[in-house]
Amino acid sequence: MSAIGELSSMTRRKGPMTKEEKKANGRDNKAAYVFLLPWLLGLAVITVGPMFMSLYLSFTDYNLLQPPEWVGLDNFVRMFGDARLHNSLRVTFTYVLVGVPLQLAVALVIALVLDKGLRGLPFYRSIFYLPSLLGGSVAVAILWKQIFGTTGLVNQVLAMIGIQGPGWISDPNTALGSIILLHVWTFGSPMIIFLAGLRQIPVMYYEAAKVDGATTLQQFWRITLPMLSPIIFFNLVLQIIGSFQSFTQAFIVSGGNGGPSDSTMFFTLYLYQKGFGQFDMGYASAMAWFLLVIIGVFTAINFIASKYWVFYDD
C-alpha cells in the first residue's frame, strides 16, 4: 500500500522534477534508444540514405558503370517527350482508376456477406484473405499467366461450349484487363478491414431504422456507408498507393517487355527497364521521384475530398 500511495502522490504532484527523477527518466530514455538503435540504423541506411542518393542521381547522367555527371533538370525535361513514358502513365492510371474501385467494391460485398454470421466464419475469412497474401508473388503471377494464356484454363472451358477464346494476355485489348482482374481478385486485405469496421457499427441504429420502416437498401445507404466511410477512406488511400507501385504482376504476366503494344507497360515496369535494362539510372531516379509526386498528389486529393464524404462518429 505504501508503494501505491507513493506512486499516487507522484502522479498528483506538480512542479519541476527532482534530480533523482531526472536521472531515472534519463536512464529510461537511454534504454529506449538502445532498443530503437537497430531500427534507426536500418531507417538511415536502407531508407533515408538511398532516398537522398536517388534524389541526387535524378539530376545526373548515371549508367552504373561511370561516375554520375550532373545534368540538372535534363532528365525531367526528357519526360515531356518520352512517348513510352506517357503510355505507361496511361496504363497505370487505367489500372488504378478501374482496379481500385472494383477491388474495394468486391471486398465490401464479401465483407457484408460474412458479417451476417455465417458458420465457419474464420475458415471463410482465411480463404478469402489468402489471395492477398499471394497476389503479389511470382508464383501467382505465373499461375495467372497460365490461366489466361492462349491454351489456358479459361479458353479450355470456353472451348467446351464451342467458343474460341482469344489470347487474353497476348491480345492488347484484353491484356490490361486480365491484370486488373488479378488485382481485384486480391481483395482479402481490404475485406478484413471492412469486416472489422462493420463489427463496430452499433446494432441499435439498424433496429431503429427497422422500426421506422427502412428497407435493407436504405439502411445500407443511410447507416452502413456513412458509418463505414472512415474505413473506406483508409482502404482507398492504401490501395491507391499500392496500385501505383504494382510491378510483379505486370513484369511476370507480360514477360518483362510491357506486353503486346505496351498494353501492360506499367510506370514501375518502364522505370525498371530504364534503370536496370538500359542502365539509365539517372533518368530512372527522376521517374521514381515523379511517381512519388503523383502518389502524393492523389493522396492529397483524397484527404481534401474526404471532408465532404467521410463522417467520423463524435
pLDDT at 116: 78
CB 200 within 8 A of CB 113: no
Mean pLDDT of 92-102: 96
Question: 12-55, pLDDT tens digit by residue?
Answer: 545 566 656 555 555 667 788 888 889 889 888 888 899 999 99
| More reliable by pLDDT, 193 or 153 | 193
Place of cell 503486346: 260
DSSP 309: H
Residue 69's DSSP bridge partners are: 61
- The Cα 269–Cα 264 span in angstroms is 9
- The Cα 220–Cα 160 span in angstroms is 40
Domains of the chain: 2-57 (no CATH), 74-309 (1.10.3720.10)
Say whether pTM exceeds 0.85.
no
Length of the chain in residues, anyone?
A: 314
| Sequence-ordered alpha helix ranges (H) in the chain | 2-12, 19-42, 49-57, 74-78, 83-114, 121-134, 138-147, 153-160, 175-185, 188-199, 203-211, 216-219, 225-244, 248-253, 267-272, 281-309
Which residues does 81 contact at the CB level (< 8 Å), separation at least 6? none
CB 299 within 8 A of CB 240: yes
- The Cα 233–Cα 140 span in angstroms is 28
Residue 61's DSSP bridge partners are: 69
Question: 235-279, pLDDT tens digit by residue?
Answer: 999 999 999 999 888 888 877 788 888 889 999 999 999 999 999
- Alpha carbon 260 to chain centroid distance? 26
DSSP conformation letters of 241-283: HHHHT--HHHHHHTTTTTSGGGTT--HHHHHHIIIIIS--HHH
Mean pLDDT of 284-296: 96
pLDDT at 312: 83
Instruction: Convert 12-45 into a string of H (helix), E (strand) and C (coil).
Output: HCCCCCCHHHHHHHHHHHHHHHHHHHHHHHHHHH
pLDDT at 129: 73
Residue 60's DSSP bridge partners are: 70
Does the pLDDT at position 296 exceed 90?
A: yes
The single-letter code of the amino acid at 109 is V
